[in-house]
Amino acid sequence: MDARNGEVIHSENADTRLHPASLTKMMTLYVVFEAVQNGEISMDTPVRISKKAAAEPPSKLGLRAGSTIQLRYLVRAAAIKSANDAATALAEAISGSEAAFARRMNRTAKALGMSRTTFKNAHGLTESGHMSTARDMTILGRHVLYDYPQYYNLFSRRSTDAGIKAVANTNRRFLDAYKGADGIKTGYTRAAGFNLVASAERGNERIIVTVFGGNSTASRNAQVAKLMDLGFNKAPSRMALRTPRKPPYLGPDTSAPTETVIARSQTPSTNTRAKSIRVVAAAVKTSLRPTARPVAQPVLPDALVAELQQDIQSVLAEVQTEAVQEITATSAQIALPIATPNVAEKTAPAASVKPVVRPRTLVLASATARQAPEVQQPVQTREAEIVTRISTSGGRHWGINVGRFPSRFAAEKALLTTALSEMSTLDGSLRKVVNGSRGYDANFMGLSRESADLACRRLQARQVTCFMIGPS
């Protein structure tokens, strides 16, 4: 294939379904690169190795169950050494299990146009139904090259540090023997034979070759070199670069049902075997809000009930009357005295005497009439005001959280995606990313309690994580 425009130059049995062996790891790494670019995980994330990953047969890095290793070293081991334990650990780190990761691999393969490929695992060891074709693997190799060029240099390294040890490239013979070769991936099992997807660049030309079912490393490399020469001879020296269209980001698979097994252990003194309960999470068919537990209503005394049933208006009138009387009585005690003016003050205009006004004082009085008749002010009263405090429970002081993410970019993207899918209830809310010690929380703020509750119920019905945030 001419990598510049994706046109096939030569093919034989290109659509025959065969065992891809470790060519599978190209898709494993493609999904990992996608997850890293979209903030699901980072190259520095420590990955805990499971018993399943540690038990994978060779080729392997030699990971121990229970140990932790950074994701970048697993990527190097899978790309360079073709380590099966590293591939399984990557799958579990991204999707939680290898089976869930395989489903994501198949969704990605469909989005790339790999119409005759089915993945059952992340490493490529022989498994019933785990099949692909030379054409599909060539398409995948081209996407690895152009969709994630920042990682493509991995495949040309002759050796690299994989955290616990240095590893050598399984494709180093072809890389050393063929001019311009810079990748991509080898694969071998007894069922598959010797497979290779290779890419080489000379000047402005780049060719991708895929061979399935070689009898040995040497014969396979010779066949790849022969096809490379054919490609470079037939490909035009000048051609406009038309990179493949990168598929849309599909993200983790949240639509497929998942199974969780919960072990209920007995006390150490008994010999009864542990029981298992299988909980199947499927689409929500009933309300997520539990029915409130009935609470017995307290019985009030008859006297209190009679008092509560009095006319509310009469109670308010009584309170208002008492308030006016209390204010009037208090005003005489808080009168503002003015000293007897001297000769200079008698010649001053009356306007120069200014009473002192205290906050919230309803009555102002001057000195007695004998002392300062020219500045005496009449007593003024004002009706007492009855102020009722309005509850803010219905205000827009609520919010919702739609997940915690490893990066700000991923949190902002989740907020935008959620806002577009739930415009009816989230309209007018404020998208806010909160950086905490455990990651970046994606929040919608400025909602009423009713709208926050409705938004969460609608999102949870679509299997989107959501919980309400009350007023602070």
Q: What is the pLDDT of residues 292-329, one digit of tens each?
A: 555 555 555 555 555 555 555 565 666 667 666 666 66
Least confident of 58-67, 224-233, 249-258, 394-403: 249-258
3-state secondary structure (DSSP) of residue 377: coil
Summary mean pLDDT of the chain: 80
pLDDT of residue 120: 97
Question: Following CA atoms 98, 102, 107, 110 in sequence, which dihedral angle do they give, to the nearest 10 degrees?
Answer: 160
CB count within 10 Å of CB 373 equals 11
Identify any residues that bridge with 18 across adjacent strands, giving them in sequence order. 132
pTM (global) more than 0.85:
no
Q: Which amino acid is at 469?
A: I
Q: Whole-angstrom Cα distance, residue 155 to residue 207? A: 16
Given the residues 50, 59, 82, 429, the one annotated as active site: 82
What's the pLDDT at 269? 38
Per mean pLDDT, which range of 120-134, 153-167, 207-221, 347-361 is the poorest? 347-361
> Of 180, 211, 234, which residue is a domain's last?
234
Residue 247 counted as domain residue: no
Per-residue pLDDT, 104? 97
CATH no. for residue 413?
A: 3.30.70.1070
Question: Residue 354: is its pLDDT beyond 80?
Answer: no
Q: Please report whether residue 380 resides in a domain.
A: no
Q: Is 82 a catalytic residue?
A: yes
Q: Over the stretch 234-283, which tens digit does the pLDDT of each residue have?
A: 999 998 999 999 999 988 876 554 443 333 333 333 343 444 444 444 44
Final residue belonging to a domain, choices 202, 234, 266: 234
Could you tell me if 382 and 362 are in contact, meaning their C-beta atoms sit under 8 angstroms apart?
Answer: yes
343 domain-assigned: no
Give tens-digit pLDDT for 190-206.
Answer: 999 999 999 999 999 99
Query: For position 152, which CATH number holds?
Result: 3.40.710.10
Q: How far apart are CA 125 and CA 83, in angstroms?
A: 11
Residue 159 lies inside a defined structural domain of this protein: yes
Longest distance between any two alpha carbons in the chain, whole Å: 127
Q: What band does 460 get if pLDDT is binned at 50, 70 and 90?
A: confident
Using only the alpha carbons of the chain, give its radius of gyration: 39
28 and 70 Cβ atoms separated by less than 8 Å = no
Q: Is residue 326 part of a domain?
A: no
The predicted pLDDT at position 209 comes to 98
Helix (H, G, I), strand (E, B) or coil at 350: helix
**40 within some domain:** yes
> What's the structural domain count of the chain?
2
- pLDDT of 252 reads 86
165 is a domain residue: yes
State the residue for tokens 């075997």. Answer: 273
Picking from 134, 139, 184, 141, the residue whose alpha carbon sits closest to that of residue 12 is 134
Choose the catalytic residue: 22, 59, 199, 429.
Answer: 22
Residue 459: give the domain boundaries: 398-469
Task: Decide which of 234, 254, 274 is a domain's last residue.
Answer: 234
More confident residue, 240 or 335: 240
User: Is position 114 within any domain?
Assistant: yes
CB 52: neighbour CB atoms within 10 A?
15
Handedness of CA 91, 97, 98, 99 (dihedral sign): negative
